[in-house]
Structure 1
């Protein structure tokens, strides 16, 4: 397998990050998980919009040649090298560079691109509903940085471990107000009659690209989508629940805590907006 580090294709086993990399030391970095299907990246523009707006918020100083076009070229190169252009999971990681926490004059971003063959299940709606619960040991903040897909992923890592210990498929994380932020690797949607509800940006969840794509498509098609604070009681009372991310699109939840959920509307949304995205 190969990687691309700062524009150079290298063998994946070669060391590339130094001990004073700011992403390693302080979590001072960002990442994107991108899906490639048949040599195309359907949500690439949304990924780049999020990445570059996040870099601006964090006051990163990218070089002039660090552009979406160059990143696309590097991604395609490493996917070709790894023979996974038909279906790939791509991780693009950006760090502020090397140095101490106050060494701003040494800022020089590093970019690491990794790719792996994708699981065929990425292109299918899950047959069995997910089992989901609530992670009790962390509360996400609701500040300017909470929506970023940052290298500081500790609450989500611990939530994923907790879910595995409970024999669940995923966990919902709460914010400091006790409302739902998101899940460990996905955004949350609820179906309540004709209304589709999702935690608003600003409620502590990561601003997912699939979330953005799906909301826009649903509203264009006349669906009522409400973005607001969502509490555990809302989830417990919902008719359906599904999770979204860039790799799977939509995954339906079959059981939340002790409640069994349907998937009628979720299945319809998948076929209307997600299945066509991958074809």
Structure 2
């Protein structure tokens, strides 16, 4: 079952031959984690979606409030198989019509959901090796910070990682600085400083990135900085870890010949779970 424009149906019936999300990548989406019927970080997701659609000049209807957004998700989950946690994708796309220039900026939406096996965030004690993906680059612009359906760099990088036995790849921008991983934001601990690339470098404006920055800034003695990370910094780091709203925190254990600790990632994960329980 899916939610298509507010109707709970078995199949959306969307035809791809005229769909602008399929034809031009003309769509914005949010990936949500729902725990015990509650959307985690609801306000952050809603306001990011609203900001993103405005940036790309999509028109959402006046009734598209945060309560409406939440209701569309919970109504779909009410007809799903019972589960403690769900991964939900909320996709907004421009209505059919036009070529590069659309005939209308009005939108439709599609909500899909699948159960998650791990309700709370957890760190898996397994090897997680990464490498740089250098075939294509992220551009330093506002559009790179959005969750749009134009993800060909991430798709190609994921194939490269799979073909070469890596758990993930790190993406570079056109200044050759490290911006993010294929589906996550990047954090680096080095000499008592926790560093993550700034949005100006082209990294995703991640919801979990925002939560981890807030939690880390409350740790005494830890300096938290948003600044560019060069590939040379990676091999000097004490820890590297990735963040997204579904996984939470994923420590990187190896990059080339360098192996990393996971102490700060583990501490932050405990704080994250405590925050989720309280909120």
Report the TM-score range of the alignment, normalised by the length of the smaller protein.
over 0.9
With normalisation by structure 2, the TM-score equals 0.94
Q: Which residue of 2 aligns with 1:113?
A: 111
Alpha-carbon distance in structure 2 between the residues aligned to 1:277 and 1:89: 19
1:265 maps onto 2:264 in alignment:
yes
Alpha-carbon distance in structure 2 between the residues aligned to 1:203 and 1:167: 28
1:270 CA drift (Å): 1.3
1:27 to 25, 28, 36: 25
Alpha-carbon distance in structure 2 between the residues aligned to 1:190 and 1:51: 27
The root-mean-square deviation of aligned C-alpha atoms, in Å, is: 1.6
1:160 maps onto 2:162 in alignment:
no
* Secondary structure of the structure 2 residue equivalent to 1:120: coil
List 4+ stretches of structure 1 deviating above 6 A.
none
Q: Which residue of 2 aligns with 1:73?
A: 71
Alpha-carbon distance in structure 2 between the residues aligned to 1:113 and 1:217: 30
1:255 maps onto 2:243 in alignment:
no
Alpha-carbon distance in structure 2 between the residues aligned to 1:123 and 1:212: 16
* Secondary structure of the structure 1 residue equivalent to 2:49: helix
Distance 1:17 1:209, change over 3 A: farther
Structure 1 residues 238-259: Cα deviation after superposition (integer angstroms, max 9, x where no partner): 0110000000110111111221
Relative to structure 2, which stretch is displaced further, 28-37 or 15-24? 15-24
Does the 8 Å CA contact 1:123/1:278 hold for their aligned counterparts? no
Question: Paired residues, what number?
Answer: 276
Structure 1 residues 93-141: Cα deviation after superposition (integer angstroms, max 9, x where no partner): 1111111135544222010100000122763112114111111211111
Q: Structure 2: any 5+ residue segments left out of the alignment?
A: none
1:220 CA drift (Å): 3.7
Does the 8 Å CA contact 1:39/1:85 hold for their aligned counterparts? no
Alpha-carbon distance in structure 1 between the residues aligned to 2:40 and 2:154: 26
With normalisation by structure 1, the TM-score equals 0.94
* Secondary structure of the structure 1 residue equivalent to 2:143: coil
Q: Which residue of 1 aligns with 2:9?
A: 10
Relative to structure 2, which stretch is displaced further, 178-187 or 82-91? 82-91
* Secondary structure of the structure 2 residue equivalent to 1:234: helix
Q: Which residue of 2 aligns with 1:238?
A: 237
Q: Which residue of 2 aligns with 1:181?
A: 179
Q: Which residues of 2 match residues 127-146 of structure 1 at below 5 A?
A: 127-146=125-144
Q: Which residue of 2 aligns with 1:172?
A: 170
